[in-house]
Amino acid sequence: MMSKLIASRWIFVPIVLLTVSVSLGTLTVVLAVANHPLGVEPGYDEKAAHFQREIDQTAANDRLRWLLTSAIERIDATRGGIRLHIEDRNTNAIDAALITVECVPLANADLRQQVKLIEALPGEYSGTFSVPCKGIYEFCVHVQRGEDIYTDRFRRTLAQVQP
């Protein structure tokens, strides 16, 4: 009996291949409809569809040539602080601007949050954000003053605060 199974072992190859194929197909469908981003930025398809807008914004950033200097710090175990200094190409402070910062923990992009910064001094803006986890954060800055819009993004590592 065993010798017959060993002699006809190639009959099991199509069965194994079909099983693997069905398993991978099922896994793909489950991951596609699970409503979990799996590291994909939300709205990436809309951003891709309007890619010309991204190109135009990059051209506007190059035309404005504003300089953005950032300082990110942990305030306590659950909050962080962000300070921005913004100046134009002639080192004049950019004041009276509306600034929003999107804080994205790369370990879990679902925990992203929007922060509106408040002007402390001309060209100096600050705000606080919650820090749900340690790790690398991406900060997407959107500055609007009048008709001018400037965007920038940078990454910082936020370590665990020791009690």
**3-state per-residue secondary structure call for 27-41:** HHHHHHHCCCCCCCC
CATH number at 92 reads 2.60.40.3340
Distance CA 102, CA 113 (A): 6
Q: What is the mean pLDDT of each run of 10 residues along the chain (163 residues)?
A: 79 92 93 68 80 94 96 91 96 94 89 95 96 92 96 92 62
In a domain, 122, yes or no: yes
Phi-psi region of 57 (alpha: psi -120 to 50; beta: other; left: phi over 0): alpha
pLDDT at site 108? 84
In a domain, 101, yes or no: yes
Q: Are residues 121 and 58 part of one domain? A: yes
Q: Which domain holds residue 91?
A: 44-158
pLDDT at site 124? 97
In a domain, 39, yes or no: no
User: With 0-12 CB in 10 A as exposed, 13-18 as middle and 19+ as buried, what is 5?
Assistant: exposed
Contact 142, 149 (CB under 8 A): yes
In a domain, 103, yes or no: yes
pLDDT at site 9? 81
In a domain, 20, yes or no: yes
Contact 160, 147 (CB under 8 A): no
In a domain, 73, yes or no: yes
pLDDT at site 160? 75
Q: Are residues 52 and 17 part of one domain? A: no
Domain count, the chain: 2
What are the tokens at 13?
Answer: 């190859």
Q: Are residues 118 and 72 part of one domain? A: yes
Q: Are residues 141 and 67 part of one domain? A: yes
Contact 75, 97 (CB under 8 A): no
Distance CA 151, CA 68 (A): 10
Q: Are residues 16 and 54 part of one domain? A: no
Distance CA 35, CA 31 (A): 8
In a domain, 38, yes or no: no
For the whole prediction, is pTM greater than 0.75? no
Q: Are residues 65 and 25 part of one domain? A: no
